[in-house]
Amino acid sequence: MQLSTVQVGAARAGVLALMLALSAAGTASAQNLTAYSRLAQQLDAAAAGAGQDSLATLKQLDAAQAALSELQPTLSSTKLSAALQDTLNAVRAAQARTPAELQAQVQLARGLMRKALYDQTMNLLATTPANGSDHLKLLARELDVEPASVQTDVQAGHLNRAAWKLQQSATAKLQAALGSVQVQQSGAAYLNLARAAGWFTVVQDAARSVDPPLKPEQFSLALTQLSGGQLGELQGSLRSLRGGVAALSTSLKTPAAQTDSPVKGVVNSSKPPVSVPPVTPPAKPSPATPPAATPGANTGAATAASLPRTAGADAAYASLGRALSATTRADLPATRRALQDALTALTKAPAALRGAPGYGALVQRVKFMAGRAALRPADVQALIGDLSTLEARQAGKSGSVMTALASGTALALGGGVRAMLALLLALACAAPLYLLNLAFGGKNPFWRAISAALLLLLLPTLAEGLLGFLGWLGDTLNVPFLRGLLALTPGQSAFGVPLRMLVTALALGLATYGFRGLCVQFGLLGGRRPAGPRPAPKPKQPDQTSFDWDEEL
């Protein structure tokens, strides 16, 4: 899997994560363990499903944001809380880029979570041990330590021994992840290095005691070198990191003396994070297979996978991702708020991005979409593609033709225009259905099956036209119930794809049954009809409005 300089952003996030992972100050406090568990579950699910179902991943990230909002008030470090929020924003921005980057950002976020839980649990056990039992159980599971073992140590008054067991386990995971990093520009190497950086976050305070001290900047430098294809320099960095981790593992062979602080090495630092400078993309890309683009995103998202990242673009991507998630559930007020956030992020973007050709047009399109009625997911996907095109132009590249076509279509065919055209098509469906019933709607079951098949084939068009028009009307008149009908249209979210496939399968079955029956009736299948005079047709009743082909045949 070929890496690109877009993943340097994960290195920057790694520095933020590692340097801002500070311990609780002053009095010990308890975390909201339910919110912690929900946040971990949603992040892990988003990483596991990266590159498969973009809409499902967006919903998982929305749930993760809600869980983080509940967890943040119970975190004792405001800097750590802000770092978690920044990392979650980076995870959301990575959704519009590559699965490998999303998974790496999740690893950094999980490292921050474990660090916060470790520090607060240790401080809580040191001050009020009776209140830290549940925290210790969750922490032990997070670090893959038997909960009963560390609880026994705490109950016996050996808190340092419990902390030692936890640090040993985290260091072993750090050593395993770092040992899996190959000196090659691949997605697997990048993900393993990000995983190692996440585990280092948990034990970074203990790592200060080794000689020479192991520092977060070493991980960020290695991530930068890997992203930039500087494999010679990466080999030296990995050698230094592995030596430092080996020294850390050696220092943890025995527990610290009981007279030491139970939370060894925990400090409160105001030192600002060290930023990683931008790097030049590799001149010759690796022949490895590039990571697959996230399904559901606009084709321009694939273009962004080979571009440098900017803070303004990341914030805009995160807001557009929230807007896309809101449109899938027909929450149009939330969609418009997210588009306004994206507009704000674009106006605060660095000068290089604002000076790229097409920046003014993109800002105008975002403004236009924020005021459009009955916004649909395709409208927001087009904006994501436009943003990726802007990044391409900033890097001196041309944008995707498909992205430009999608953007033009979204601008011309949306809102009331789309609703009216879809309604006209839905009403036009009545003509063939009526004429088919008039011509062949007798007692013949085969013709009735064919009529039902045609109805099923036209059902998505009928649903899109009627529900789409009512949703547009509800959004225009601010009627939430009618606006919510947009969520039931076939093209609104991922559920419409399997539903349409099911309806099509039923229609094909009915049509096959009907046409086969007619072929048998005509003698084209299953043998010829017996020779002999045909029975005289029954006289047509005066009130009969359809021609009974079964009787005539």
The tokens for 342 are 């994206």
The residue-averaged pLDDT of 507-517 equals 92
The tokens for 416 are 């009331």
Cα–Cα distance measured from residue 16 to residue 12, given in angstroms and rounded to the nearest whole number: 6
Q: What angle do CA 42, 322, 310 make, to 5 degrees?
A: 100
415 exposure class (CB count in 10 Å sphere: 0-12, 13-18, 19+): buried
pLDDT of residue 17: 41
Average pLDDT of every residue of the chain: 78
Cα–Cα distance measured from residue 376 to residue 464, given in angstroms and rounded to the nearest whole number: 12
Sign of CA dihedral 455, 461, 465, 471: positive
pLDDT(354) > 50? yes
The 10 Å Cβ neighbour count of residue 46 is 26
Q: Do 321 and 93 contact (CB within 8 A), yes or no?
A: yes
Least confident range of 86-95, 188-197, 537-546: 537-546
Residues belonging to the chain = 553
Q: Do 384 and 322 contact (CB within 8 A), yes or no?
A: no
Cα–Cα distance measured from residue 18 to residue 226, given in angstroms and rounded to the nearest whole number: 18
CA 305 to chain centre: 15
Percent of the chain exceeding pLDDT 70 equals: 79
Alpha-helix runs per DSSP H in 348-376: 351-354, 359-370
More confident residue, 519 or 354: 519
Residue with tokens 């095109």: 389
Region of residue 230 (left: phi > 0; alpha: psi -120 to 50; beta: else)? beta
Cα–Cα distance measured from residue 98 to residue 95, given in angstroms and rounded to the nearest whole number: 7
pLDDT tens by residue, 91-141: 888 877 778 888 889 999 999 999 999 999 998 888 887 778 899 999 999
Cα–Cα distance measured from residue 222 to residue 16, given in angstroms and rounded to the nearest whole number: 15
pLDDT tens by residue, 414-450: 889 999 999 999 999 999 988 888 888 667 889 889 9
Residues contacting 238, CB < 8 A, separation 6+ = 178, 181, 183, 222
Residue with tokens 């004429």: 435
Cα–Cα distance measured from residue 47 to residue 16, given in angstroms and rounded to the nearest whole number: 20
pLDDT of residue 305: 31
Helices (H) and strands (E) in the chain — how many of each? 24, 0
Alpha-helix runs per DSSP H in 478-536: 480-483, 496-522
Cα–Cα distance measured from residue 91 to residue 66, given in angstroms and rounded to the nearest whole number: 14
Residues contacting 95, CB < 8 A, separation 6+ = 50, 54, 57, 58, 61, 102, 294, 297, 317, 321
pLDDT(529) > 70? no
Cα–Cα distance measured from residue 124 to residue 136, given in angstroms and rounded to the nearest whole number: 10
CA distances from 409 to 202, 294, 377, 390, 476 (A): 49, 21, 13, 18, 21
Cα–Cα distance measured from residue 163 to residue 262, given in angstroms and rounded to the nearest whole number: 7
Residue with tokens 């933020």: 16
The residue-averaged pLDDT of 43-72 equals 88
Going by pLDDT thresholds of 50, 70 and 90, the confidence category of residue 533 is: low
The tokens for 183 are 């000196």
The count of C-alpha atoms lying within 13 angstroms of the C-alpha of 471, restricted to the half-sphere facing its C-beta, is 31
More confident residue, 458 or 4: 458
Could you tell me the end-to-end alpha-carbon distance of the chain, in angstroms, rounded to an integer? Answer: 64
pLDDT tens by residue, 194-250: 999 999 988 888 877 777 788 888 888 888 888 778 888 888 889 999 998 998 888
The tokens for 365 are 């399109």
CA distances from 94 to 271, 301, 527 (A): 28, 10, 63
Cα–Cα distance measured from residue 109 to residue 115, given in angstroms and rounded to the nearest whole number: 10
> Strand, coil or helix: what is 532?
coil
